[in-house]
Amino acid sequence: MAKHHPDLIFCRKQAGVAIGRLCEKCDGKCVICDSYVRPCTLVRICDECNYGSYQGRCVICGGPGVSDAYYCKECTIQEKDVSVLLTFPSDLSSFYLVTHCYPWKPPMRDGCPKIVNLGSSKTDLFYERKKYGFKKR
């Protein structure tokens, strides 16, 4: 969904240990490219995106999650999921702290893939339905 809607924004914070989930509607999609083929690598999200009422929610649309989210093989090959530290700190003591004291929190290259805004299409749908009254579909 994010690939086809350029107005959607990813969280992109450092991913933690929480595993991303998908709802029934989004089940089987790659989080980055919306592909349904060859799921490969498990999606990790940041602690803020998995806190409180957000726990267990769909990474793409925010609905109740029913299955684990995966990156497809193509996104894995393009290293959109790799645990690599891109920016090195100026002093080596903090680099040692980051790499050796937190092995359970791998830093992600592209960060947390959770979508944090609604997007213009959902916002427009809300106001369009509000204009004509909220009717069941």
The answer to whether the pTM exceeds 0.75 is no
- What is residue 96's predicted lDDT score, i.e. its pLDDT? 43
Dmax (CA) for the chain in angstroms is: 61
- What is residue 71's predicted lDDT score, i.e. its pLDDT? 92
- What is residue 136's predicted lDDT score, i.e. its pLDDT? 65
Phi, psi of 21 (to 5 degrees): -120, 160
Query: How many residues are present in the chain?
Result: 137
pLDDT per residue of the chain (137 residues) written in tens, 0 to 9: 566 677 788 888 888 899 999 999 999 999 888 889 999 899 999 999 999 888 999 999 889 999 999 999 998 888 877 544 444 445 444 444 444 434 444 444 678 988 888 777 777 777 888 888 766 65
- What is residue 3's predicted lDDT score, i.e. its pLDDT? 66
Around Cβ 118, how many Cβ atoms within 10 Å? Answer: 16
Containing H/E element for 19? Answer: strand 18-19
Structure tokens belonging to residue 100: 């050796």
Phi, psi of 56 (to 5 degrees): 80, 10
Instruction: Kindly list the distances between the CA atom of residue 26 and the CA atoms of 50, 64, 76, 95, in Å, as whole numbers in the listed order.
Output: 18, 11, 19, 38
